[in-house]
Structure 1
Amino acid sequence: MGLLIALIVMGVSFYVQWRLKSKFEEYSQVGLSNGMSGKEIAETMLRESGIYDVRVVSVEGRLTDHYNPQDKTVNLSPDVYYGRSVAAAAVASHECGHAVQHATAYSWLQFRSQMVPFLSIASQYMQWIILIGVLLINTSIIPLAIGVALFAVTTLFSFITLPVEYDASNRALAWIQKNRIVNEREYIMSADALKWAARTYLVAAIGSLATLLYYVSLLMGRRD
């Protein structure tokens, strides 16, 4: 049963990733009616949100866009930074949505950020601990129990990420609509693109939960 669930989640994940990439490819070909680049949109949103200490920079890669609260930078991939498309507008404003969350002390983002240092360390050893726990399950359940506890924290992190991502998208869509960065047709496309982006986080969270439940079943089965 556990293997079947894992395969289903994996299949759904591949589908959502494929749809996300195809959507962004499609909307990257649709020029923005106002002609603004992702960089210009990001800088405008930050400025109009009263944020002046965040830089907008270009980073290598594709779909590598993110906001870094540590150095206060909105990092945009070249296609978004220089792009003047609906996809660029959606992504740039979404990442600025995270900057607005940071500036306004959005509670879910703060909680998520506080977990990062622990998870960055735990993730280096977690899979090894779980592997050792599985191998030694007939001798001792302690290693597996520790591994499951660490994995539970990463699963919690995945679910905490959901409101952070959905809220950033909602802020982005509200801003580009209110400030007429996009027309009605472009707004629908932007909302569709961000919807599929958010679904990748939802599937990841569900997949993490399914894996956690599988490890818990192993642990409980051994205890019985």
Structure 2
Amino acid sequence: MFPFFFDPTMMLLIPALLLAMWAQMRVKSVFMRYSAVGSRRGVTAASAARALLDRFGLQSVPVHRVGGNLTDHYDPRNRSLSLSDSVYASTSIAAIGVAAHEVGHAIQDSVNYSPLKIRNAIVPVVGIGSSMAFPLFFIGILLRGQMLMDLGILLFLGVILFHIVTLPVEFDASSRALKVLADTGILSADEIGGAGSVLRAASWTYIAATVMAFAQLIRLLFLRGMFGSRD
């Protein structure tokens, strides 16, 4: 059997790691490209977000500024939208596209979009599972405890579910964003293409995260087979 410190199953993660690296470089490259292109109307991303939220009757959802780069998010717990320093005051096509994407999440929340509700519901469980799955699994290997390994895998299945549900949530938010930007005229028809490029690039980070989660699951199953039957 392979020594414990040499884990050949790590090789299973290489394709997913390469995809994740490419996705990160892609989103940064595309965001930078369209961050340098100002929108014709010259509205800031924060103003665009406010206008779109108000259009859908979401006046109670505040738009905050948050530190960092691409840390933009919608928080369903307190129903607030946060835009990063690089987005909030920017009038670029990239920034407006990102802001509209977060508005898309707010709209999903307001209409009780099922995948978003499922994701929000499982977040606490996934948080526990993601922090405990690997420690339990590898303690199981050290102690030759099949039950601990199986429990680790079971907890990690919650992480897999989270990533699976995240994909339609993110794709739908981007679709809503591009539609409302076109309907309101905040971006012109030719500018919508640039916003779409930014959001499609961002979607690859979620795809890569899902692929990585599945690669990790396959790795755990391989390790379970390698060590689970030892005397």
CA deviations over 1:156-183 (Å, ceiling 9, x no partner): 1111100000000000000001111112
Deviates more, 1:211-220 or 1:117-126: 117-126
Q: Is the counterpart of residue 113 in structure 1 residue 149 in structure 2?
A: no
Structure 2 runs not aligned, ≥5 long: 1-7
Of 165, 170, 174, the residue aligned with 1:160 is 165
Give the whole-Å Cα distance in 2 for the aligned partners of 1:86 and 1:31. 6
Give the whole-Å Cα distance in 2 for the aligned partners of 1:210 and 1:123. 15
Of 150, 154, 171, the residue aligned with 1:149 is 154
For 2:64, the aligned partner's letter is: V
Deviation at 1:135, TM superposition (A): 2.0
Q: Is the counterpart of residue 34 in structure 1 residue 16 in structure 2?
A: no
Q: Is the counterpart of residue 171 in structure 1 residue 176 in structure 2?
A: yes
Q: Is the counterpart of residue 45 in structure 1 residue 52 in structure 2?
A: yes
Deviation at 1:123, TM superposition (A): 2.8
Deviation at 1:2, TM superposition (A): 4.1
Structure 1 runs not aligned, ≥5 long: none
Deviation at 1:126, TM superposition (A): 2.4
Give the whole-Å Cα distance in 2 for the aligned partners of 1:166 and 1:193. 13
For 2:12, the aligned partner's letter is: I
Deviation at 1:188, TM superposition (A): 0.7
Could you say what secondary structure the match of 2:223 adopts?
helix
2:76 counterpart residue number? 69
Deviation at 1:223, TM superposition (A): 4.7
2:222 counterpart residue number? 217
For 1:220, the aligned partner's letter is: G
For 2:167, the aligned partner's letter is: L
Percentage of identical aligned residues: 34
Could you say what secondary structure the match of 1:57 adopts?
strand
Q: Normalization by structure 1: what TM-score?
A: 0.95
Could you say what secondary structure the match of 2:78 adopts?
coil
1:208 counterpart residue number? 213
Give the whole-Å Cα distance in 1 for the aligned partners of 2:171 and 2:212. 18
Give the whole-Å Cα distance in 1 for the aligned partners of 2:50 and 2:141. 50
Deviation at 1:113, TM superposition (A): 0.3
Give the whole-Å Cα distance in 2 for the aligned partners of 1:3 and 1:117. 28
CA deviations over 1:31-89 (Å, ceiling 9, x no partner): 01100001100001101011122110000000100000011111100111111000111
Deviation at 1:133, TM superposition (A): 2.0
CA-based RMSD of the aligned residues comes to: 1.4
Deviation at 1:109, TM superposition (A): 0.2
Q: Normalization by structure 2: what TM-score?
A: 0.92
Query: Does the 8 A contact of 2:160 with 2:210 survive in 1?
Result: yes
Give the whole-Å Cα distance in 1 for the aligned partners of 2:63 and 2:228. 53
Give the whole-Å Cα distance in 2 for the aligned partners of 1:111 and 1:166. 15
